[in-house]
């Protein structure tokens, strides 16, 4: 398997519901390490239902006195697809000014993941404050992909042109470059359809990601390609990229 291809993410419905009562019962444990472990585990227990007991437990843990627990809880809330009720949004906004930098960074990313443009001022502030921004802040900028972030990202790139996180965020926020990437990916899909009409292929832009993916459902199993990585491997030539997929997905699923 190449660096730009991987199996699709695990189905979020494949969770162990049996663990949920135990985790909920331990959410108020006196040991902060136990509460932190609960905050990390809750996204993998129970069904993805809005305003579920696990979401409510995580919201309570977002206000925990221990910064490590808050950090784990805010991260977990930020990764839940179903969790974006007004209460969740309020909890993430509440943590934007957390005294712990890591917690604030996680809150920024959680809101950016949900394309909440109200986080832009805080995101710009974090990018301007630190000479080497946290990787989570750069990830949030890339996922949000707003042109308002271009000036501060360009300034960071001028100071550190070799930082891949800054470069990725700058490209994701550039509407011209974003359109070029999308156009190349669509040409790749068209070339692949001509070459291999038997493949069930589609372009998807996963939630919480700045990366366009090419998803293939083939006899040998589903496969997802990072579209930019695949095109880089093919020298930005959509026809060559389609040929690479063709070679890696032989007819009959062999």
pLDDT in tens, 71-111: 999 999 988 866 678 888 899 999 999 999 899 989 999 99
What is the pLDDT, as a whole number, of residue 83? 62
What is the pLDDT, as a whole number, of residue 52? 83
pLDDT in tens, 164-183: 999 999 999 999 998 998 99
**Which one is predicted more confidently, 7 or 184?**
184
Closest to 13 in 3D by CA, of 54, 43, 51:
43
Closest to 95 in 3D by CA, of 107, 80, 78:
107
Looking at domain 9-114, its CATH class is mainly alpha
pLDDT at 254 over 70: no
**Cα maximum dimension of the chain:** 61
Overall average pLDDT of the 131-142 stretch: 86
Q: What is the pTM of this model?
A: 0.74
Closest to 113 in 3D by CA, of 87, 80, 90:
80
Return the HEC string of the chain: CCCCEECCCCCCCCCCHHHHHHHHHHCCCCCHHHHHHHHHHHHHCCCCCCCCHHHHHHHHHCCCCCHHHHHHHHHHHHHCCCCCCHHHHHHHHHHHHCCCHHHHHHHHHHHHHCCCHHHHHHHHHHHHHCCCCCHHHHHHHHHHCCHHHHHHHHHHHHHCCCCHHHHHHHHHHCHHHHHHHHHHHHHHHHHHHHHCCCCEEEEECCCCCCCCEEEEEECCEEEEEEHHHHHHHCCCCHHHHHHHHHHHCCHHHC
pLDDT in tens, 4-29: 555 444 444 345 677 889 999 999 99
Overall average pLDDT of the 211-222 stretch: 82
pLDDT at 2 over 60: no
On average, the pLDDT of the chain sits at 87
Domain map of the chain by residue range? 9-114, 117-173, 177-253
Least confident of 10-24, 31-45, 211-225: 10-24
What is the pLDDT, as a whole number, of residue 9? 44
């Amino acid at each position: 398997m190449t660096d730009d291809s991987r199996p699709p993410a695990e189905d979020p419905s494949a969770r162990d519901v049996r663990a949920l009562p135990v985790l909920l019962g331990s959410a108020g444990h006196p040991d902060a390490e136990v509460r932190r472990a609960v905050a990390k585990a809750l996204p993998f227990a129970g069904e993805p239902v809005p305003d579920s007991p696990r979401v409510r437990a995580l919201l309570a843990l977002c206000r925990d006195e221990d910064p490590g627990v808050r950090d784990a809880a805010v991260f977990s809330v930020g990764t839940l697809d179903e969790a974006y009720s007004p209460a969740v949004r309020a909890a993430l906004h509440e943590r934007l000014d957390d005294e712990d930098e890591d917690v604030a960074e996680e809150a920024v990313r959680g809101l950016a993941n949900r394309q909440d443009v109200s986080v832009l001022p805080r995101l710009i502030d974090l990018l301007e404050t630190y000479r080497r921004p946290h990787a989570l802040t750069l990830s949030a900028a890339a996922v949000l992909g707003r042109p308002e972030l271009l000036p501060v990202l360009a300034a960071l790139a001028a100071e550190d042109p070799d930082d891949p996180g800054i470069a990725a965020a700058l490209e994701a926020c550039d509407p011209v470059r974003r359109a070029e990437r999308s156009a190349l990916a669509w040409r790749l899909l068209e070339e692949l359809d001509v070459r291999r009409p038997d493949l069930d292929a589609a372009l998807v832009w996963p939630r919480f990601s700045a990366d366009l993916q090419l998803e293939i459902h083939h006899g040998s199993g589903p496969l997802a390609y990072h579209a930019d990585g695949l095109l880089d491997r093919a020298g930005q030539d959509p026809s060559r990229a389609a040929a690479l997929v063709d070679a890696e997905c032989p007819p009959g699923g062999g």
